[in-house]
Amino acid sequence: MADVAFENVSKEFTGGTRAVDDLTLDIPDGEFLILVGPSGCGKTTALRLIAGLEKPTAGTIRIGADMVNGISPRDRDIAMVFQNYALYPHMTVWRNLAFGLKERRTPKREIDRRVGEISSILGLDELLKRRPAQLSGGQRQRVAMGRALVREPKAFLLDEPLSNLDAKLRVQMRAELKRLHQRLRITTVYVTHDQVEAMTLADRIVVMSGGKALQVGAPQEVYRRPDSLFVAGFIGSPAMNLLRGRADGSRVVAGDLAFSRPGGVPGGDVVVGIRPESLAPAADGRPSAELEVDLVEPLGEATLVHGTVAGTAVESGAEEEKEILTPRGARAQVTAIFAAADQPAPGDRVRVGVAPDRIYLFDLATGAAIW
């Protein structure tokens, strides 16, 4: 086990695509770190850089005390789980698990012991004689993890390992992965575009966009205090509602939502961000807006309410924030999560309010958060 570090690492592909752009990141020993971001943000390239499947064009990558830039994948002592599992189709599960140990000339008895141990941890004992084609998706996934863990690597790399599983299995395997990490405490770097996976699994998450790490922090911290409009829009499901607003020094107005901040707000164009879970039918003097409900999705305990409010919606994009005018003139699409008891009907007009301390403000021009 070891820590992993990126020091000003860039990776430019032939043709000029800069997949990773001056990335600096320290991953302490035993941490579960998740790289999350939309497709093309560089997260998989970052992972492949650790594995040695790509070579950085600038900067230094360290695993433990060693600088590994010029070291081939086989000598880095890391293990990786691929999105499509990449099990060796012509080998039985047992041989798939033992392959890495055999290649490293581990003594036969040691191989038997370790394969036996990992197969019982992952519940693969019954499957050892089968070939990958005879396994279900979940079983293959487990074998792929076993193959990586059996070598007791310095670091464990996972590239969207759950994305090929059906929804139920995904939730199950997610919990299993977390349990496994709590038990083995191997430094883990995990790539996903699914922010629920990122929130639930990670010790820390790295939100990436355009090859850069936009924000690094514990999941709750990133959720509570997004640094930028992009992170705010990306983390959280359903996504944060973003409305264009105008600040005049003390008050902020966005459509018919108006509020003031105790510390004051620098004047100018801003984006007002409100998480769907912070919106509730307004009964008091909290800042509020009139929501015209157009779609209701009951989830059981809560209800997703979609509708429009007066104002202009903003969409957070990877590169620059662009304004999206909603089709119905100057109304913005928003989503709220109501308690089931408050379920409105489509066509209703509901006054929704939000606690002032749950409103986020961002600079429209730079996307930076204003606290």
Partner 1 sequence: MTGRTAIASRGAARKERAERERGQFLFSRWHLILIPVAAVMLIPMVWMLVTSVQTLNETRHFPPDLLPHTVRLRNYTDVLRQAPFARWFVNTVIVTVVSVAGNLLFCSLAGYAFARIKFFGREIVFLAILATLMIPFQVVMIPTFIIVKDLGMINTLGALIVPNLAGAFGIFLLRQFFRTLPVELEEAARIDGASRLSVLFKIILPLSGPALATLAVITFLWTWNDFLWPLITISSANNMTLQLGLTTFQGTHQTSTNLLMAANVMSMLPVLLLFFLAQRYFIRGIATSGLKG
Which alpha helices (H) appear in 104-136, and where do they start and end? 108-121
| Between 104 and 179, CB nearer to partner 1 | 104
Nearer to partner 1, 54 or 348 (CB): 54
Q: Which is nearer to partner 1, 103 or 315 (CB)?
A: 103
Q: How far is the CB of 189 from partner 1 (least distance, A)?
A: 13
Name the minimum Å distance from CB 87 to partner 1.
8
- Using alpha carbons, list the distances in angstroms from residue 344 to 256, 261, 278, 287: 20, 30, 17, 20
Q: Would you give the DSSP letter of residue 228? A: B
Q: What is the number of other CB atoms lying within 10 angstroms of the CB of residue 151?
A: 20
Task: Tokens for 311, please give them.
Answer: 């104002």
In the complex with partner 1, the residue whose CB is nearer, 132 or 273, is 132
Tell the smallest beta-carbon distance from residue 86 to partner 1 (Å). 4
User: Which position has the token pair 């264009």?
Assistant: 244
Query: Which tokens go with 1?
Result: 């086990």
Cβ(247)–Cβ(265) under 8 Å?
A: yes
Nearest-approach distance from CB 187 to partner 1, in angstroms = 15
Q: Which is nearer to partner 1, 81 or 361 (CB)?
A: 81
Nearer to partner 1, 89 or 347 (CB): 89
Give the whole-angstrom CA distance, residue 273 versus residue 199: 20
Q: How near is the Cβ of 14 to partner 1 at its closest, in Å?
A: 10
Report the nearest approach of partner 1 to the CB of residue 308 (Å): 45
Site residues for partner 1 per CB under 8 A? 51-53, 72-74, 76, 78-80, 82-84, 86-90, 99-100, 103-104, 147, 151
Q: Which amino acid is at 227?
A: D
Q: CB 160 → partner 1: shortest distance, Å?
A: 12
Q: Which pair of structure tokens corresponds to residue 254?
A: 């966005």
Please list, residue by residue across 113-134, b when 16 or more beta carbons sit within 10 angstroms of its beta carbon and e when fewer do.
ebbbebbebbebeebbebbbee
User: Is there a contact between 262 and 319 (Cβ–Cβ < 8 Å)?
Assistant: no
> Which one, 83 or 200, has the nearer CB to partner 1?
83
